[in-house]
């Protein structure tokens, strides 16, 4: 009972101590670029020590970590990338599959000679990052998940809510999905429904800027489009294939894991949380407050404080 009370009080302190902090719209970090073949990945790199590598979701970029990184960069090296086709990274004429993105991520890590990595991942970043971690466990010290898929594809579908099902149903439809996501820029227009607070004009414009043309939105569509109906009949390289492979390896992995969740969220609900607690080894979970799917824009200080405390306790030696 005493341990429970102490843990509860720490959690309350973390949440309420950071609520009063401002959320800045400015991206104060120097842009860097790393050539991968003929294409350049945009990234930021601050602090020193073992690296924490931040992997964003759709339709986000390294910009979404701007209020979280300050909680960690005084004691660790913080690196945040833009996946190829997102943010300030190049937009080459490729298929933008999960395999493509994993290949770029793998090459980026090799180019920077990163080791002892802790991955902080959300949304598609969780799928791509988990795949890298399971392929290269010797390079990984810790895994932090938020609003990301953890289970196999059919369980992911079964445990999902209405919004999740609707988005993937629409994305699968070749004509409807392409029209809504690519031509009409639906994902950017939906952002206000996926964030609890109201974004500033500057923030909205920053997120819109990489996706101002029809062609520039293909990376968003390609990833979402690859999830098959109900997660069944996975094909080599599609989203279901990655989820199935990740789930098998993740359940065997003893790498320290942290699952940060909020309510109502979207991808991480009660069913998902229950699955994770029952299936994953060496897992801690932490509730950080009220937020929707893009929780890094609602609760950055709560997230940053939670990662900092967990990292100091479980990862940093």
Total count of residues recorded for the chain: 317
Of 102, 55, 105, the closest CA to residue 80 belongs to: 55
Whether residue 293 lies in the annotated active site: yes
Distance CA 269, CA 283 (A): 16
Please pick, among 42, 293, 296, 302, the residue that the annotation labels catalytic: 293
Give how far Cα 139 sits from Cα of 32, 124, 313, Å.
23, 20, 19
Backbone angles phi, psi at 290, to 5 degrees: -90, 125
Whether residue 103 lies in the annotated active site: no
Give me the half-sphere count of Cα atoms (radius 13 Å) on the Cβ side of residue 92. Answer: 16
Please pick, among 45, 50, 123, 203, the residue that the annotation labels catalytic: 123
Neighbours of 179 (CB within 10 A): 14
Whether residue 147 lies in the annotated active site: yes
Conformation bin of residue 37: beta by default, left when phi > 0, alpha when psi is -120 to 50:
left
Please pick, among 147, 296, 297, 298, the residue that the annotation labels catalytic: 147
Question: Which residues are annotated as catalytic?
Answer: 123, 147, 293
């Amino acid at each position: 009972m005493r341990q429970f009370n102490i843990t509860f009080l720490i959690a309350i302190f973390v949440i309420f101590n950071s609520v009063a902090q401002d959320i800045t719209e400015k991206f104060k970090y120097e842009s860097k670029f790393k050539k991968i073949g003929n294409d350049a990945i945009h990234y930021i790199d601050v602090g020193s020590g073992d690296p924490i590598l931040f992997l964003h979701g759709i339709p986000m970029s390294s910009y979404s970590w701007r209020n979280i990184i300050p909680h960690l960069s005084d004691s660790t090296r913080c690196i945040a990338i833009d996946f190829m086709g997102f943010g300030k990274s190049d937009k080459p004429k490729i298929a933008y599959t999960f395999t493509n993105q994993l290949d770029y991520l793998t090459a980026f890590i090799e180019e920077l000679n990163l080791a002892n990595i802790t991955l902080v991942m959300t949304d598609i970043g969780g799928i791509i990052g988990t795949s890298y971690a399971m392929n290269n466990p010797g390079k990984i010290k810790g895994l932090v998940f938020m609003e990301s898929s953890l289970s196999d594809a059919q369980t992911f579908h079964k445990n999902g809510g209405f919004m999740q099902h609707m988005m993937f149903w629409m994305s699968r439809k070749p004509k409807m999905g392409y029209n809504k996501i690519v031509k009409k820029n639906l994902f950017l227009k939906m952002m206000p429904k996926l964030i609890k607070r109201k974004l500033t004009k500057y923030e909205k414009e920053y997120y819109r800027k990489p996706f101002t043309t029809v062609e520039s939105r293909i990376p968003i569509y390609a990833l979402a489009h690859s999830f098959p109906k109900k997660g069944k009949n996975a094909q080599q390289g599609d989203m279901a294939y990655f989820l199935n492979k990740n789930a098998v390896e993740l359940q065997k992995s003893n790498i320290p894991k942290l699952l940060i969740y909020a309510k109502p969220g979207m991808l991480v609900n009660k069913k998902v949380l229950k699955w994770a607690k029952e299936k994953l080894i060496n897992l801690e979970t932490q509730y950080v407050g009220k937020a929707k799917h893009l929780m890094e824009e609602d609760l950055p200080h709560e997230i940053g404080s939670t990662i900092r405390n967990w990292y100091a306790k479980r990862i940093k030696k």
